[in-house]
Amino acid sequence: MTVAENLFENLRLELRRGCLTLAVLAQLRQEYYGYTLRKALADRGLEIDESTLYPLLRRLETQGLLASEWREEEKRNKRFYRLSSDGELMFTKLLEEWQAINASIDATIDSNR
């Protein structure tokens, strides 16, 4: 990997990090377990590595933004996640913030054209 490619990869990961949390919170307004959540996000064009998504779910749950429960489905115990009430509030705020940033970036790009 060249220096430029390496730099791009680092910046891309940095850019994605915050967006992934928002996407996961958005998707978990419905209940999912880890693998189906990953598939649902991938279907919407957002591929997330297993090693990123599954620990992220744990972290968000520890922070009180997600609620989870073990339940049997298709003869297998799975841990299902959904947005908690604190998570819903946080999601609304983060979404506003993200939309504002998006609007600012769009306006900046438009003004420089």
Partner 1 sequence: MELLDRYLEAVKKHLPWQRQDDIIAELRANLEAQLEDKEAALSRPLTARECEDWLKQLGSPLQMAAHYNPQQYLIGPSVFPIYLIVLKISLSWSLIVCLIVSGVEILTRAPSLVGVVEILLRLPGVLMTAAAWVTLIFAILEVAVKHNYIQLPPEVVPTGAWSPGSLPPLGMNAVQGKNARTFSKTVAEAIFGFLFLVWLLLIPNYPWMWLGPGAAFLDIGRGSGAPFQLAPVWVQFYWCMVALSVWQLAWRCLELYRGTWQKAQPAPNLVMKAIGLIPLILLLTVHDHVFVQLSHPALDQVRYGATVDIINKSIFWSFLGILVIAVMQMAWDLGRMGLTAWRKRLAAQ
Q: Closer to partner 1 at the Cβ: 70 or 110?
A: 70
Q: By CB under 8 A, name the one of 20, 26, 46, 79 that touches partner 1.
A: 79
76: contact with partner 1 by CB under 8 A: yes
Using the rule CB under 8 A, give the single segment among 11-19, 75-83, 88-96, 97-105 that binds partner 1. 75-83
- The 8 Å CB, 24+ separation contacts for 56-63 are 56/20, 56/21, 56/24, 57/24, 57/81, 60/21, 60/24, 60/25, 60/87
Q: How far apart are the first and last CA of the chain?
A: 32
Name the residues that contact partner 1, by CB under 8 A.
33-36, 38-39, 49-52, 54-55, 58, 76-79
